[in-house]
Amino acid sequence: MLLRRLSLLLALALMGALFYLSHQPTLPTPSLFSGQDKLFHAIVYGILGFLLLGSRTPSVQGYTRAQLRGSILVASLYGVSDEIHQYFVPGRSSDVWDWVADTIGAVIAVSLLWWLSRKRVPATAQ
């Protein structure tokens, strides 16, 4: 139960940090390669989705598909709200492809945690 609460607390803290960073007119990030911002979006929203699913109580067979979909939906909707927020911040812009990267990152990370939760179930419980 402590781990689930910690996951929720970390997810909320990450959401707060994302809101703060999105409100900055510019972010000093070195340009390492083309499309790096999409990779960063996918990683960060993957972590968010992972934490959101980790805050849920798994069943005996692992996390349910409803928990999986719910975690992806919350991360994706937060990505949409982040892009809408950036639209109103001077020096920032909205990009639908950032949201796509957010959602893909959440799908990958949440699916991985879901798969791992099902793998840890003893064979007799499946």
Span 11-32, pLDDT tens digits: 999 999 999 999 999 888 888 8
67, containing H or E segment:
helix 65-87
Q: How far apart are CA 36 and CA 108, in angstroms?
A: 17
**Which residue has 């910690």 as its token pair?**
6
Q: How far apart are CA 78 and CA 84, in angstroms?
A: 10
Average pLDDT, the chain: 92
Mean pLDDT: which of 22-26, 73-77, 114-118 is highest?
73-77
Class of residue 100 by CB neighbours under 10 A (exposed 0-12, middle 13-18, buried 19+): middle
pTM for the full predicted model: 0.90
Give every CB contact of residue 47 below 8 A, 6+ residues apart in sequence: 14, 109
Domain ranges of the chain: 2-20+35-125
Mean pLDDT, range 93-108, rounded to an integer: 97
**Which residue has 């979909």 as its token pair?**
69
Q: What pLDDT does 27 receive? A: 83
* Residue 17 identity (one-letter amino acid): A
Q: Beta partners for 62?
A: 59
* Residue 103 identity (one-letter amino acid): T
